[in-house]
Amino acid sequence: MSKPAARVADLRRRIEAANHRYYVLDDPAIPDAEYDALMRELEGLEAEHPDLASDDSPTRTVGSRPEGGFNEVRHAIPMLSLANAFEDPNGGDDDRLRYREVAEFERRIEDRLDTRAPRFSVEPKLDGLAISLRYEDGVFVQGATRGDGATGEDVTANLRQVRSVPLRLRADDALQVPAVLEVRGEIYMPRKDFEAWNAQALARNEKLLANPRNGAAGSLRQLDPAVTRRRPLAFFAYGVGEVTGLELPQTHSDTLALLRRFGFPVAPEVDTATGFDGLIAYYRRIGGVRDDLPYDIDGVVYKLDRYDQQRTLGFVSRAPRWALAHKYPAQEQATVLRAIEIQIGRTGAATPVARLEPVQVAGVTVTNATLHNADQIARLDVREGDTVIVRRAGDVIPEIVRVVEDRRPDGTTAWTMPATCPVCGSELVREEGAAAFRCTGGLTCGAQRKEAVRHFASRRAMDIEGLGEKQADALVEYGFVDSIADLYALDVADLVRMKAALDAPTAADLLQMVDDSRGALVLDDDTRTALAQEPPEWRRADFLRTHLQVAPEGGRVAVKWAENLLAGIDASRRTTLPRFLFALGIPHLGETTARTLAQWLGSLDFVRATPALVLQALPDIGAEVARSIATFFEQPGNVAVVDALLAAGIAFEDEGRPDPGLHARLGLAQVLSSLGVNKLGGKSAERLAQTYGDLDALLKANASGWTGAGLSTAGADNLQAWLDDGDARARLVAAWEATRRLLDAAPARARTAAGPLDGQTVVLTGTLSAMTREEATERLEALGAKATGSVSKKTTFLVAGEAAGSKLAKAEALGIDIWDEAKLVAFLDAQA
């Protein structure tokens, strides 16, 4: 085979494969720009070597034959394609060179018609899916895809679900509906709907749509119209096919106006223009608003407006000579993914970022792209070394939409989220039910340092007067402060240096500041010379500490300011435990949770040492919050910072012992039921706790022993399985030990000297929601009541919770005072 013949064969094979992936599978393999390049090379070769041309070449056919699923529709008038023109980036400033193909198109038309500057209909080139809608006597009867141009797929049922496809033509007195009208146009997915769709898919961990066009094509080719209905699709008309029983206007632009009257949406950007300059002006105007349009376009289309002129020009193979698609630079390009790196946000969120071989996408060099999250990487199976398709549309951050699998090099491996933070080495954990991973090294992680200092100093946290966000950021950025503990090591001189660096836009300004300070700030001569060169490190703490001396004589504004801030920092040393806990910036630990922890556990030592399983037993602390708190205090970096804060003299005015109420809340039964073991709920946990009394004894027994103690067989098996899993046993033992320590430290609830309920006998029945029955009993007893288990004439009142049964009935029969939970809570609150 000759060399060109081999190349032609190769090109046809590749184009046909790409057509199949694009049109039949809705799963494009190569970027559009690459497809266009292959096609143009083939067209060029066939023009040069007419002997190689053939009727079944992809240059003569359009798209791909339909395949399965839908019935075939033969188009009465073929659905053609458009010749493409691209921008020549080397064409310089001369439009006729830069847009040479447009100039040639327009010149050819002028020559054939022997007119100057003919008029064109100019339209956006919507990036969707071409369809034909057939109306008979005004009623929508059939809708078809383009298919190979001659035969398409019958997607009538799906098109009926698209709201902007009229099911009936509109008619009025002056407008009769024709016998047959075929309307051609584009089905597309509005960009906003596409983004919303993907945002939702991301949150639900579902497959993302690669781009709006794929979204439209995939949605229209759903076999179930109900699925299509849920997809946000829209339609714009841009032409007609078969028409009978209607005299069409003389021009294409009038036809579009007529279609509007029949009820079809036509893109509002559609216009007319004359001559080459008019075409290019339109191309530029639409290019300028491209990113702001509510739909994706990949170019503009020029169509000779007068039908008689169109007829004079006719067709070549698959495209009319009177029309041209003028394409914008592609929004998708292929490039190689060098690496996937983890970026830690200021609140610790870990986002994977793709580092790319630089590539031009829609006029911008792209080197990074977002990969959203670990799930998205798994879904796309993106690997380092892969060739990927990068998409950049509008001002959206470039993203990777798919992998070109055919180009995957050997030896790649599936990507997994690293276990530790690349910035600080703390654990990365995934929050329950969330897609995002988070760094747990809040206090030491460089990425989170600014945020940590800002939050620590803020009014509701440590409330350090004078330390606003700007100052906090500067302290961290210049290196005066690495962690919040370093705040307490600052001195007046440091703060003056920081303020000087913050207030001086350049090193020269700092020099000026020193000169104006009348001796309060001092620089040696060598440093003066060095500063004149604007060395990049002049704002750094170590540089300033070495070279900028601060004379402590009072009076200077900066010194006064620093002294005040230092006094603010100093004052923050005496604080409360809830403030401090909140100030640490532990994820999910708000002010309310901070107060709960302080109230129930009493001291920082207990907060730090209490495992998640036990924290969960405190009011309003769920599993996720408990885990977040415990994980925070497990990170060595965080531990070191907290210790350093204590060493710097942080003290709490409100530390005390754990709350006496813990006795009613915490015990073996609570710990067991918080394990989340299926079939080991509150009741059976209670029975186990009563039988064994201690965890040790319970663990020495086995499943059959537990069943003897009142656990179901399934519950016993589940507990056994739970204990056999990894470090579960150790965690349970730790939880129980922590519980014991807490209970040992918590005083029994003191009897009120003279209790308001002295001498009264109460009975509790039913389920309470605000507290356990044990807790209620304990609180009533603390007020002097005697709690008994059965109702008698001696009972003073009965507390009836939800689903109270026989005891309530008996109390009613005896005429005993009955309290509901609301009354109990109000009473207890009034006594507190």
Residues labelled as active-site residues: 125
DSSP result, 463-495? --TT--HHHHHHHHHHTS-SSGGGGGG--HHHH
Position closest to ligand IVH via CB: 130
**Shortest spacing between CB 45 and ligand IVH, in angstroms:** 21
What is the smallest separation between the CB atom of 98 and ligand IVH, expressed in angstroms?
A: 22
Q: Which stretch binds ligand IVH (CB under 6 A): 19-27, 320-328, 636-644, 774-782?
A: 320-328
User: In whole angstroms, how close is the CB of 122 to ligand IVH at the nearest point?
Assistant: 9
d(CA 96, CA 93): 9
* C-alpha atoms less than 13 angstroms from C-alpha of 659 in its C-beta half-sphere: 18
Half-sphere exposure of 485 (CA within 13 A, CB side): 16
Both tokens assigned to 65: 């034959």
Q: Near ligand IVH by CB under 6 A, which window of 75-83, 195-203, 434-442, 622-630?
A: 75-83
Among 301, 439, 476, 762, binds ligand IVH (CB under 6 A): 301
Smallest gap, in angstroms, from Cβ of residue 356 to ligand IVH? 29
The SS3 call for residue 754 is: coil
* DSSP letter assigned to residue 814: H
Q: Draw the binding track, 614-653, toward ligand IVH (x: CB under 6 A; -: no contact).
A: ----------------------------------------
- C-alpha closest to that of 598 among 652, 535, 677: 652
Closest CA to 103 of 114, 90, 88: 88
Axis-axis angle for helices 507-516, 492-503 (nearest 10): 120
DSSP state of 571: H
CB-nearer residue toward ligand IVH: 33 or 301: 301
Residue from 29, 30, 73, 80 touching ligand IVH (CB under 6 A): that is 80
| Binding to ligand IVH in span 675-694, by CB under 6 A | none
Contact range with ligand IVH by CB under 6 A, out of 78-86, 111-119, 633-641, 759-767: 78-86
Taking the complex as a whole, the smallest distance from the CB of residue 298 to ligand IVH amounts, in Å, to 8
Nearer to ligand IVH, 77 or 489 (CB): 77
Burial class for 831, CB neighbours closer than 10 Å (0-12, 13-18, 19+): middle
Say whether residue 746 binds ligand IVH (CB under 6 A).
Answer: no
Place of tokens 């008994």: 788
Nearer to ligand IVH (CB atom), residue 237 or residue 668? 237
State the minimum distance, in angstroms, from the CB of residue 325 to ligand IVH. Answer: 6
320 lies in the binding site for ligand IVH (CB under 6 A): yes
- Please list every residue from 173 through 212 that binds ligand IVH, using CB under 6 A: 186
- Closest distance to ligand IVH from the beta carbon of 248 (Å): 15
Shortest distance (Å) from residue 37 CB to ligand IVH:
16
For residues 126 and 210, which CB has a smaller minimum distance to ligand IVH in the complex? Answer: 126
- Closer to ligand IVH at the Cβ: 325 or 481? 325
Fill in the per-residue mask, 115 to 144: x = in contact with ligand IVH (CB under 6 A), - = not in contact: --------x-xx---x--------------
The answer to the question of residue 280 lying near ligand IVH (CB under 6 A) is no
For the stretch 281-286, contacts whose Cβ atoms lie closer than 8 Å and that sit 24 or more positions apart, written own/partner, are 282/122, 283/99, 283/102, 283/326, 286/124
Q: Which is nearer to ligand IVH, 130 or 558 (CB)?
A: 130
Of 234, 256, 332, 258, whose CA–CA distance to 301 is shortest? 256
Contacts of 285 by beta carbon, 8 Å cutoff, 6+ apart:
none
For residues 625 and 617, the answer to whether their CB atoms sit within 8 Å is: no
Stretch that binds ligand IVH, among 3-11, 77-85, 256-264, 805-813 (CB under 6 A): 77-85
Q: How far apart are CA 660 and CA 743, in angstroms?
A: 8
Q: By CB under 6 A, tell whether 296 contacts ligand IVH.
A: no
Smallest separation (angstroms) from ligand IVH to the CB of 108: 17
Signed CA dihedral, 334, 337, 341, 342: sign only: positive
- The tokens of 323 are what? 């029309």
Please say which residue, 181 or 342, places its beta carbon nearer to ligand IVH.
Answer: 181
- Whichever of 32 and 821 has its CB closer to ligand IVH, that residue is 32
Show contacts with ligand IVH in window 512-541 (CB under 6 A).
none
Min separation Cβ 303 and ligand IVH, Å: 7
Question: Token pair of 355, please?
Answer: 């580092």
Q: Least CB distance from residue 35 to ligand IVH, whole Å?
A: 12
Rounded Cα distance between 96 and 88, Å, is 10
Residues in the chain: 832
Per the CB < 8 A criterion, the answer to whether 441 and 425 are in contact is yes
Q: Which of 24, 217, 325, 650 binds ligand IVH (CB under 6 A)?
A: 325
613 binds ligand IVH (CB under 6 A): no
Give the span between the Cα atoms of 622 and 278, in whole angstroms.
Answer: 66
**Closest by Cα among 94, 26, 37, 97 to 63:** 26
Q: Which of 405, 412, 411 is nearest to 17 (CA)?
A: 405
Q: Measured from the CB atom, is 126 or 689 closer to ligand IVH?
A: 126
Token pair 């300011």 in the structure block, residue:
561
- Using CB under 6 A as the binding rule, the residues of this chain from 474 to 513 that contact ligand IVH are none
Comparison of 271 and 375: residue with beta carbon closer to ligand IVH? 271
Alpha helix segments (H runs only) across 20-83: 32-48
Q: Please, what is the minimum distance in Å from the beta carbon of residue 80 to ligand IVH?
A: 4
Residue 323 interacting with ligand IVH (CB under 6 A): yes
Compute the distance between CA of residue 742 and CA of residue 664 in angstroms, rounded to an integer. Answer: 12
| Nearer residue to ligand IVH within complex by CB, 106 or 123 | 123
For 780, the 3-state DSSP assignment is helix
Q: What is the DSSP letter of 539?
A: G
- Judged by CB under 6 A, the residue of 58, 178, 239, 602 near ligand IVH is 239
How far apart are alpha carbons 712 and 718 in whole angstroms?
10
Looking at residue 180, the DSSP 8-state letter turns out to be E
Cα 825 to Cα 595: distance, rounded to the nearest angstrom? 20
DSSP, collapsed to helix, strand or coil, labels residue 271 as strand
Residue 606: helix, strand or coil by DSSP? helix
Q: Which is nearer to ligand IVH, 186 or 332 (CB)?
A: 186
Residues 767-786 that bind ligand IVH (CB under 6 A): none
Q: Facing residues of 37 across strands? A: none
Angle (nearest 5°) at CA 380 between 378 and 386: 105
Q: How many residues bind ligand IVH (CB under 6 A)?
A: 15
- Does residue 238 belong to the site contacting ligand IVH (CB under 6 A)? yes
- The residues of the shown chain that bind ligand IVH, judged by CB under 6 A, are 80-82, 123, 125-126, 130, 146, 186, 238-239, 301, 320, 323, 325
